[in-house]
Structure 1
């Protein structure tokens, strides 16, 4: 199958790409610069590198890019710098999600296209009853005021949940919610839950970026796993943490 990955040069997106390539899938990536990409990517015949800013592409260019893709995955995020957090684009993840979904819809594929969004445990799935403490509500409220990327993550997931919904004939989706991200070299055991089993603010768990990439890749090519989690916002923790 052919998969488009945006945010592929990031710490988690690169792991997702590696998993997909290891499984012999064809991958397209949209990156602003090829400078940080592994040399092995540049010579891999199964990888097409598109050098562009995802929000600068025209609608026609976006439609052409996704026209032969069976799945789209977004690992986009904001750089943890002052400009990355408070500068433009404030709605990078949301706007990219909307534009990519619109491109898929305009192509009207015969079979539904999978859309996998990397999100965060700090965002609740409002389709479910996910109670949080008053203290956590206060902290989340502050994050909305002080950290635009948090609002961006919320709005991106809400777009999939409310605008694409559960019964779309063209797009099926899942929003993966990792807890505290860490770096590890190998895939380890991890667990998946429909909702957080601990407080994302006061008792956060850990999950390696390579495990997140593995789970997102598995959602894309494992149809049984997809059937279990599509239309949901699964939470992932590394078992060893």
Structure 2
């Protein structure tokens, strides 16, 4: 199995790459600088590295990256700096999702490529009737207006829901929504729900990056887990003691 991972130098992305390599999968990554990765990962025989900005690549180059892949996982996100939040590319996640899906269509795979998008519990799945309090709706509207990365995350998931949908010949997708992200030294028990079970704004839970990496890795590796969650936006929480 060959998996293309975007955002591999990020806090969750590098954990995902390690998780997949430990399970003897072939991993391709596109990174601005490979120096941001640990040397032991770079030396792994099953890792292929392309140094580039994804959105600067031509359509043909992205199609070449997608060719031969069984799955694509996007852990892309904006740096939480002024430049990362308010300067171009303001639609990093959405544009990357669109171009990767278009590349998958160009490849015309025999079976659909699995696409996993790392998203956020603050984004509602508008395919479902997920209840939001009036106060939460107001806060989310403000965040959507004032924090461009949130609007980008919403648009990326909406692209998968509305443009790719449930019957695409080239792509099957899942958008994983962790709650409040934390670091942890190892994976711990976690639970996955079709929709949030608590308010992402006023009663946020915790989700370790290690658990997110484990779940996303299992999604692309394990057929039964994929069958359970494809075409959905599962929310993942750490199991509380």
Mark yes or no: TM-score above 0.5. Answer: yes
Q: Hey, what's the Cα distance between the residues in 2 that align with 1:169 and 1:103? A: 13
Q: How does 1:56-75 map to 2 (within 5 A)?
A: 56-75=56-75
Per-residue deviation, 1:120: 0.2
Per-residue deviation, 1:170: 1.3
Per the alignment, residue 118 of structure 1 pairs with 118
* Residue 22 of structure 1 pairs with residue 22 of structure 2: yes
Q: Hey, what's the Cα distance between the residues in 2 that align with 1:210 and 1:69? A: 24
* Residue 84 of structure 1 pairs with residue 77 of structure 2: no
Per-residue deviation, 1:240: 2.6
Per the alignment, residue 33 of structure 2 pairs with 33
* Residue 202 of structure 1 pairs with residue 197 of structure 2: no
Structure 2: give runs of 5+ residues left out of the alignment.
Answer: none
The CA deviation string for residues 69-128 of structure 1, in whole angstroms up to 9 with x for no partner, is 000000000001010010110000000000000001001011110000000000000000
Per-residue deviation, 1:169: 1.6
* Residue 96 of structure 1 pairs with residue 96 of structure 2: yes
Per the alignment, residue 128 of structure 1 pairs with 128
Q: Hey, what's the Cα distance between the residues in 1 that align with 2:52 and 2:17? A: 17
SS of 1:124's partner is coil
Structure 1: give runs of 5+ residues left out of the alignment.
Answer: none
SS of 2:36's partner is coil
Per the alignment, residue 235 of structure 1 pairs with 235
Q: Hey, what's the Cα distance between the residues in 2 that align with 1:200 and 1:240? A: 16
SS of 1:175's partner is strand
The CA deviation string for residues 182-210 of structure 1, in whole angstroms up to 9 with x for no partner, is 00010000000000000000000000000
Per the alignment, residue 192 of structure 1 pairs with 192
Per the alignment, residue 170 of structure 2 pairs with 170
Per the alignment, residue 155 of structure 1 pairs with 155
Following superposition, which runs of at least 4 residues in structure 1 exceed 6 angstroms of deviation?
A: none
Per-residue deviation, 1:10: 0.1
Q: Hey, what's the Cα distance between the residues in 1 that align with 2:103 and 2:183? A: 33
Per the alignment, residue 55 of structure 2 pairs with 55
SS of 1:35's partner is helix
- How many corresponding residue pairs? 241
Q: Hey, what's the Cα distance between the residues in 2 that align with 1:17 and 1:214? A: 10
Q: Hey, what's the Cα distance between the residues in 2 that align with 1:214 and 1:97? A: 21
TM-score of the pair, normalised by structure 2: 0.99
Per the alignment, residue 139 of structure 1 pairs with 139
